Amino acid sequence: MAQRSPSRRRQLNHESFMDYSLLFIVLFLLGFGLIMVYSTSSYEANLELGDSTYYLRKQVFATILGLIAMIAVANVPYHFWERFAVIGYIVSVVLILLIIPFGHESHGAKRWLYIGPISLQPAEVAKLCMILFLASMICTMGKQIRGRKGFLTVLAVPMPIAFMLWQITNNLSSAIIVVGIAALMLFVSCPDYKRFIILGLTGLALAALAVFAIVQMASAQAGTGEGDVGFRGERILAWLDPEAYSSGKGFQTIQALYAIGSGGVLGKGLGASMQKLGFLPEAQNDMIFSIICEELGLFGGFAVIIMFIMLIWRFMVIANNAPDLFGALLVVGVLGHIAIQVILNIAVVTNTIPNTGISLPFISYGGSSVMFLLIEIGLVLSVARGIRLKDL
């Protein structure tokens, strides 16, 4: 067998790795998402706006911008962005605060800023900037992160952002994701798993205590009418017994479950959903997974879940082979963001957890979400490009 020349060996040593599998999965999810956005929104858009392609066109525009940004970020060495970590954190705080005087309100929540014709959701900016800031901070702290002080410091960093997202934008789901991203990045960086077990059990205990308190309060106020336990309390009560709140907070959940149940194994067929015809509010947003199950059946729902599992697997491969800790943490942060959001969305749609209002990555309608998710994918691809292939 002919031997490779030294020059050819050196060329192979410096050949970059390109994860085409990751790219294919992302493009598939984007294309599938556009099909489902049109399928779920065309009836409502035509009825209310006189244009069945209204939501599709806006999503296509955001997707194109996101793909351009993804390509640009993927071709910039990821260490370039490290110098903007602190600036990103500050920008996140400022954008969230700007919601107070300049925020745009929709469906009872004030979460968007309008910059010309483009709407921006500061929560999406905060998730990206949090990943960048924590990756830089953990690398700077080094072994100090293993001590109690360092551990608590990293854990405390996302709390101001999470608190502002919860209180200012009324977006508890994004606050949970920001904290979850930090917890996962800290988990990967710190080998003391006992601390995470304690944190997890404490969180579960507090959640159970809150649910118990709300149920007891509702029982004590029985007969006084819905709303006495507050907005989020009503959502928890509707989660426990959606039929009792079928005309209020449980309506969307019940309609979503009807959609999933009526789809069966193979579904009614693409475009044949009944629940999207005015029965399921905002079907193209948080509840799009239920329409997928109705039109494509459990087969379609499981296929989407498998695609996300494959996406997470590619993230793990890249993180394990990243050139350094900073690159690995960037990928872990993006992995955490997407994994947590997928789990929360599907759990909400299936009534496994209370309704929190969270979109399905790459598939649900939402310009800010898809743009910043694609920027995060660009960061992952940039880290992947830093991996060098070995001699064959």
Give the integer Cα–Cα distance in Å for 207 and 214.
Answer: 11
Predicted local distance difference test score (pLDDT) of residue 75: 94
Q: What is the pTM of this model?
A: 0.90
DSSP at 105: E
Q: Is 388 helix (H, G, I), strand (E, B) or coil?
A: strand
Give the integer Cα–Cα distance in Å for 56 and 33.
Answer: 10
Q: Are 97 and 113 in contact (CB under 8 A)?
A: no
Give the integer Cα–Cα distance in Å for 152 and 311.
Answer: 31
Predicted local distance difference test score (pLDDT) of residue 6: 45
Q: What is the mean pLDDT of each run of 10 residues along the chain (392 residues)?
A: 44 63 95 95 90 93 96 95 94 93 78 80 94 94 85 91 91 91 90 82 87 78 58 79 80 90 91 88 89 95 96 95 94 96 94 87 93 96 83 36
Predicted local distance difference test score (pLDDT) of residue 390: 54
Tokens 């819905």 belong to which residue? 226
Q: Are 179 and 159 in contact (CB under 8 A)?
A: yes
Give the integer Cα–Cα distance in Å for 377 and 360.
Answer: 16
In sequence order, the 6+-apart residues with CB closer than 8 A to the CB of 68 are: none
Predicted local distance difference test score (pLDDT) of residue 389: 63
In what side-by-side order are the strands of the sheet with 118-120?
Answer: 104-106, 109-115, 118-120
Q: Are 31 and 340 in contact (CB under 8 A)?
A: no
Beta-strand relationship, 104-106 and 109-115: antiparallel
